[in-house]
Amino acid sequence: MIVQTAFAEKAQEKALSVRELTKDYPGVRAVDTVSFDIDRNTVHCLVGENGAGKSTIVKMLTGALTPTSGSMAILGRDYEPGSTQDARESGVGTLFQELHVVDQLTVLENLTLGMEASRFGFLVKSDLENRVVKTLAAIEPTIDPKARVSSLSVAQKQIVEIARAASSGASIIIMDEPTAALSEREVERLFGVIRRLRDSDVTVIYISHKLDEIFELGDNVTVMRDGKHIATKPLAEVNGRPELIEMMVGRAITHDYEPRGEIAGNPVLNVKGLSNHLLKDVSFHVNEGEIVGFYGLVGAGKTEVARAIYGADKADGQIDFKGRKRAASPKEAIAAGIALVPEERRTQGLFTELTIRRNIPIMNIRKLASFGIFQDEREKEVAREYVGMLGIATNSIEKYAEKLSGGNQQKVVLSKCLFADADMLLLDEPTRGVDVGAKSEIYDLIRDLANNGRAICIFSSELEEVLGICDRVFLMYDGQVQATIKNGAEVDIPHILNVVTGGGSENT
Binds another protein (CB under 8 A): choice among 325, 374, 444, 492: 374
362 binds another protein (CB under 8 A): yes
Question: Nearer Cβ to another protein, position 415 or 501?
Answer: 415
Quote the least distance from Cβ 369 to another protein, whole Å. 5
438 binds another protein (CB under 8 A): no
Binds another protein (CB under 8 A): choice among 256, 366, 506, 507: 366
Size of the site for another protein (CB under 8 A): 34
**Phi, psi values for residue 227, rounded to 5°:** 80, -5
215 binds another protein (CB under 8 A): no
SS3 track for 240-269: HHHHHHHHHHCCCCCCCCCCCCCCCCCEEE
From the list 223-231, 233-241, 285-293, 339-347, the region that binds another protein by CB under 8 A is 339-347
Quote the least distance from Cβ 358 to another protein, whole Å. 8
What's 50's DSSP letter? T
Binds another protein (CB under 8 A): choice among 11, 230, 354, 393: 354
Quote the least distance from Cβ 125 to another protein, whole Å. 39
Task: Please name which of 428, 424, 449 lies closest in space to residue 348, comparing C-alpha atoms.
Answer: 428
Quote the least distance from Cβ 68 to another protein, whole Å. 13
SS3 278: coil
> Which residues 399-418 are close enough to bind another protein by CB under 8 A?
400, 403, 416
CB burial of 76-91 (b: ≥16 within 10 Å; e: otherwise) equals eeebebeeeeebbebb
Distance in angstroms (rounded) separating the CA atoms of residues 265 and 271: 16
SS3 399: coil
333 binds another protein (CB under 8 A): yes
Quote the least distance from Cβ 323 to another protein, whole Å. 21
Question: Nearer Cβ to another protein, position 253 or 362?
Answer: 362
Element holding 376 (H helix, E strand): helix 376-390
Question: Nearer Cβ to another protein, position 173 or 327?
Answer: 327
Please report, as a single letter, which amino acid is at residue 21: L
69 binds another protein (CB under 8 A): no
351 binds another protein (CB under 8 A): yes
378 binds another protein (CB under 8 A): no
User: Between helices 376-390 and 406-419, what is the axis angle to 10°?
Assistant: 120
Inter-CA distances, 76 with 15, 94, 204, 403, 474, Å: 8, 21, 17, 43, 47
Inter-CA distances, 233 with 57, 230, 426, Å: 18, 10, 41
Positive or negative: CA dihedral 10, 14, 16, 19: negative
Binds another protein (CB under 8 A): choice among 35, 83, 150, 329: 329
Q: CB within 8 A of 337, min separation 6: which ones?
A: 321, 322, 421, 422, 423, 424
Quote the least distance from Cβ 364 to another protein, whole Å. 8
Quote the least distance from Cβ 366 to another protein, whole Å. 6
284 binds another protein (CB under 8 A): no
Question: Nearer Cβ to another protein, position 103 or 344?
Answer: 344
Binds another protein (CB under 8 A): choice among 206, 295, 310, 477: 310
Please report, as a single letter, which amino acid is at residue 385: E
Element holding 156 (H helix, E strand): helix 154-167
From the list 56-64, 83-91, 281-289, 350-358, the region that binds another protein by CB under 8 A is 350-358
Binds another protein (CB under 8 A): choice among 139, 173, 205, 363: 363
Inter-CA distances, 223 with 90, 456, 493, Å: 25, 33, 17
From the list 177-185, 195-203, 289-297, 327-335, the region that binds another protein by CB under 8 A is 327-335
From the list 82-90, 161-169, 256-264, 324-332, the region that binds another protein by CB under 8 A is 324-332
Whether the Cβ atoms of residue 190 and residue 95 lie closer than 8 Å to each other:
no
Binds another protein (CB under 8 A): choice among 373, 377, 388, 452: 373
Count of CB atoms situated within 10 Å of the CB of 461: 24
CA 367 remoteness from chain centre:
36
Binds another protein (CB under 8 A): choice among 103, 353, 444, 448: 353
Question: Nearer Cβ to another protein, position 153 or 348?
Answer: 348
Binds another protein (CB under 8 A): choice among 52, 57, 165, 340: 340
Task: Please name which of 71, 94, 82, 67 lies closest in space to residue 20, comparing C-alpha atoms.
Answer: 71
Task: Please name which of 499, 411, 435 lies closest in space to residue 463, comparing C-alpha atoms.
Answer: 499
334 binds another protein (CB under 8 A): yes
Question: Nearer Cβ to another protein, position 260 or 346?
Answer: 346
Quote the least distance from Cβ 447 to another protein, whole Å. 25
Task: Please name which of 288, 286, 290 lies closest in space to residue 271, comparing C-alpha atoms.
Answer: 286
Question: Nearer Cβ to another protein, position 52 or 338?
Answer: 338
DSSP string, 160-229: HHHHHHHHTT-SEEEEESTTTT--HHHHHHHHHHHHHHHHTT-EEEEE-S-HHHHHHH-SEEEEEETTEE
Question: Nearer Cβ to another protein, position 25 or 374?
Answer: 374
Q: Which stretches of the chain bind another protein, using CB under 8 A?
A: 310, 312, 329-331, 333-335, 340, 342, 347-355, 358, 362-366, 369, 372-374, 398, 400, 403, 416, 420
